[in-house]
Amino acid sequence: MNKFDKEQILHTSGVNVLKCMRCGKCSATCPSYDEMEYHPHQFVYMVEKGDIEKLMASKSIYKCLSCYACVERCPRGVEPAKVVEAVRLQVIRRQGANHLTPDDIPALLDEDLPQQAIVTAMRKYSK
């Protein structure tokens, strides 16, 4: 069990996985169900167990359409899609080497770069 990853995911998603009462309505409603190795309810359960590595290694995280049907239908307000998103983000963060650090940004700026892109970049990489 990876405690750090679990806490990180709970933190970034803001989801309280303990609210889940295992009804499976999220997976019952999921349009990508057949595409996924792990299904929305499994994401919630596996994060609760701290079984993060398997989720991070699975293609399932890219199969989620972020349609939020699971969030809309969950009777307990657990928001599984946010958990999936948080796992996705965790994977991106692990790839640190491929990414810029905030310090790299000034050197890359040029005059034609839209302001909004600069702000977005700062937000994204200074997380």
Partner 1 sequence: MQRIGVFVCWCGSNIAATVDVSAVSEALSHEPGVVFSTNYQYMCSEAGQNLIKDAVREHKLTGVVICSCSPRMHEMTFRKAVASTGLNPYMVEIANIREQCSWIHKDKAAATEKAIILGRAAIAKVHLNAPLTAGQSPVTKRALVIGGGIAGIQTALDIADAGFEVDIVEKQPTIGGKMTQIDKTFPTLDCAACILTPKMVDCAQNEKINIFAYSEVEEVKGFVGNFHVKINKKARYVDTTKCTGCGECTEKCPMKKIPNEFNLGLDNRRAIYIPFAQAVPKVATIDPDHCNMLKNGKCGLCAKVCSAGAIDYKQKDETIEREYGAIVVATGYNPIKLDQYDEFAYSQSPDVVSSLEFERLTNAAGPTGGTLLRPSDGKHPHTLVFVQCVGSRCSQEGKGKSYCSKICCMYTAKHAMLTREKYPDTEVYVFYIDVRSPGKNYDEFYRRAVEDYGVHYVKGMVGKVTPRSDGKLMVQASDLLAGEQMHIEADMVVLAAAIEPDKSARPLATMLTASMDTNDFFTEAHAKLRPVESPTAGIFLSGACQGPKDIPDTVAQAGAAASKVIGLLCKDQLTCNPCVAHADQLMCNGCSSCEKVCPYGAITYEDKEFRMPDRTTAIRRVASVNEAVCQGCGACTVACPSGAMDLKGFSNSQIMAEVDAICKM
Residues that bind partner 1 (CB under 8 A): 19, 21-30, 33-34, 39, 41-42, 69, 73-77
Could you tell me the smallest distance in angstroms from the CB atom of residue 80 to partner 1? 12
Nearer to partner 1, 2 or 32 (CB): 32
Distances 59 to 12, 39, 66, 88, 119 between C-alpha atoms, Å: 20, 11, 14, 10, 30
Could you tell me the smallest distance in angstroms from the CB atom of residue 59 to partner 1? 17
DSSP at 76: T
Nearer to partner 1, 5 or 17 (CB): 17
Q: Which residues, including other chains, have CB under 8 Å from residue 70's CB and lie 6 or more apart?
A: 25, 26, 27, 29, 30, 40, 79, 80, 81
Nearer to partner 1, 5 or 43 (CB): 43
